[in-house]
Amino acid sequence: MKTRFAGPVLAALCLLPFPARSLDEPRKVVDYDIRVRLDPEKRAFTGTETLLWTNPSQDTVQELLFHLYWNAFRNNRSTFFRESGGQLRGDRADEERGWGFIDVTSMTWDGQDLRPGFRFVSPDDGNPDDRTVLSVSLPRPVGPGETVRLEIGWEAKAPRVFARAGYVRDFYMVGQWYPKIGVYEPAGRRGRAAGGWNCHQYHANSEFYADFGDYRVEIDVPERFVVGSAGALVAERKEGGRKLLRYEQKGIHDFAWTADPRYVVKEDTFEPSRDVPKEELARAARLLGRSEADLTAGMKPVKLLFYMQPDHVDQWTRYADAQKWALAWFGLFAFPYPYAQVSCVDPPEDGIGAGGMEYQTLYTAGTWKGLAKWPLRGIRTQEMVVVHEFGHGYWMGLVASNEFEESWMDEGINSFTEYEMMTRRYRYFLELPFGAGFSPLDLPARGFIPSSPDYDPILAASWKYWGGGSYAKNSYARAGLAVEQVRRLVGEERFWKGFRAYAERWRYDHPTSRDFFDAIALHAPSPWLADLVARTWYGTGFVDYRVLRAASTKVPERTGYDDARKAVNFTEEGTSTKGDAAAKEKGKADGRKDRGKGPWDTVVVVGRDGDVVLPVDVVLTFENGKTWRTTWDGRSKWLRLKTTYGSKLARVDVDPEQRVVLDRDSMNNSRFLPAHDGPSAAAKVRTYGVHLVQILLSTLWTLV
């Protein structure tokens, strides 16, 4: 009996999406109780925190590592400054008065002073001047599973904002602001052979990787400030012209806040029964093979808070629409949002360096007054920045991959979900005349991918790409498009099953790149997948399909000798010409009458540049309107198609449905033969618009 059932049982086991290891809630490793006071005159923050840290490993741990992020702005010798040159996303540091810092002034464990064990370390680049990672050597080791309770005091000064955190006038964006313990990874986590610290320096382009826990934060500010934070407000007390606000949030790994007297706070609610579009719910149920009731079961109402600048208040509904849509979309295609609230911070225009930035349960958007007016109001920047920054709350936030070491898992998957959400709800990022427009995918596919050759694979630590442009291209556009490529390769249903399985399985659980590929391969196996992953994520491969040759010539009337050696259509020397000449004249007349009739010899050659091999469709369209389609496996460098047919070739299209979204140059994928009318007006507008997009892209970098 056992033998008889072994086959079906094994098959059933293989169908299980994953080992039943998905976490319903995060493993709690840290617990922060923070009290912080802002002195706006001095831009100074004074804080104390009680940190409980539980050793999650089987090791005895002899030292603790802490992030001191604001020391990135301490001076121009920090690794952050050296990497960024004091310039990020178009914003420059104010090197006259803009410096900031954080100093740990006290740290005790069971009353014992730990300061003698302090030293700064630079695990990534050995920079002796970087002060963003503090090592604390302990008087005795922390045993497996043991919880230490540390009392920490610190003083900090905010930098003038140019890179995410800091101040301008009375606006404060307070991110990465407290002494934050690094991650001690137990053996087995993210494929680690032995346990050890994972605590990177603050780099120009990456900053997130932390353990989950609970936060209680008391913020003490002058009464005039309006404050928003990652937590829910649980208590408020006013005294002596100041106010003390107490916030709490469980199950997060980061806590950011903001303060500005000018904020106009708008409130709304994401109500799943109202805000999940019915057709999207039906579509998700069909693609994922789940019931609608199952998909909506975990969705809860979410309180939405928008901290708006007074001159942007009229734009808050655009943020709100995109926010509700993003909550609905992620709830369907990843998993329901587990927190009770989300805060969207709208920075002032002179503090836009703080804009377009993600934290947990709180993110910064960004807009300009002019973007609400014609003709710029047709550009969907506000929606894009909301779905993008909120989306990070899933990848960097809830799934919690290591953004330092595998930045594409955050920015790249997030770019993919951004393109998808923007396309599903808004269709065009930018609408042009004649019914044309730029889809959200056009920006990366037509702008970034063709713009430069590749010298880096997608998968690299953020500071190890050859330069900032390579980091940006590979972590965002190329990675986002590569995920889109996987989707087009394996098909909608299988892709989304794999995608959702990845998100659900790895919620709160710090996956690696390999875990993503495994999830897709399990649900959407494809003979093309391993090669695509190897050549793009782990290599610098690219692909450009193009039409190399397209010709259609009328098959000429037979001229010469036939099989019986009779002269056809010509006059043999030394023979009478009378009858033949008449026949020849008749032939000419018939030829005029038959012009445009077949048969026609058609030759088409399509080629593949680059080493990423993907199947591609080739479509021949003839003047009589008939089409002939074939799928080329792309394995040879070029393919020749020949046919003799009663109509002349009108056009050739390689990949007309754009299934090869990684195709570096789609402008060479079609060729029209002379008699044909050529591209439509809409297609021409698109073509000319490509240049416009490339100009726009440089501006948009402020907001990613």
Q: Which residues lie near Zn ion (CB under 5 A)?
A: 411, 704
Residues whose CB falls within 8 Å of the CB of residue 92, separated by 6 or more in sequence, listed in order: 86, 162
Cβ atoms of 31 and 150 closer than 8 Å: no
Cα–Cα distance measured from residue 83 to residue 94, given in angstroms and rounded to the nearest whole number: 16
CA 340 to chain centre: 24
Indicate the residue among 411 and 484 with the shorter CB distance to Zn ion: 411
Indicate the residue among 362 and 704 with the shorter CB distance to Zn ion: 704
Cβ atoms of 672 and 650 closer than 8 Å: yes
Partners of 554 in the β-ladder: 600
Beta-sheet pairing, 213-222 with 30-39: parallel
Indicate the residue among 64 and 449 with the shorter CB distance to Zn ion: 449
Least Å distance, CB 239 to Zn ion, is 40
Cα–Cα distance measured from residue 215 to residue 210, given in angstroms and rounded to the nearest whole number: 13
Indicate the residue among 404 and 545 with the shorter CB distance to Zn ion: 404
Tokens found for residue 241: 């012209």
Residues whose CB falls within 8 Å of the CB of residue 577, separated by 6 or more in sequence, listed in order: 571
Beta strands, E only, 97-256: 101-109, 112-113, 118-120, 133-142, 147-157, 166-168, 171-174, 180-181, 183-185, 196-198, 213-222, 226-229, 232-239, 242-252
Least Å distance, CB 282 to Zn ion, is 30
Q: What is the DSSP letter of 160?
A: B
Indicate the residue among 393 and 689 with the shorter CB distance to Zn ion: 393
Least Å distance, CB 115 to Zn ion, is 37
Least Å distance, CB 388 to Zn ion, is 6
Distances (CA, A) of 491 to 286, 495, 504: 13, 6, 20
Q: For CA atoms 632, 633, 634, 636, give the dihedral sign.
A: negative
Indicate the residue among 89 and 180 with the shorter CB distance to Zn ion: 89
Least Å distance, CB 389 to Zn ion, is 7
- DSSP-derived 3-state class of residue 681: helix
Least Å distance, CB 356 to Zn ion, is 7
Indicate the residue among 385 and 673 with the shorter CB distance to Zn ion: 385
Indicate the residue among 208 and 426 with the shorter CB distance to Zn ion: 208
- DSSP-derived 3-state class of residue 373: coil
Tokens found for residue 335: 């998993």
Least Å distance, CB 77 to Zn ion, is 27
Indicate the residue among 482 and 543 with the shorter CB distance to Zn ion: 482
Least Å distance, CB 92 to Zn ion, is 21
Least Å distance, CB 365 to Zn ion, is 12
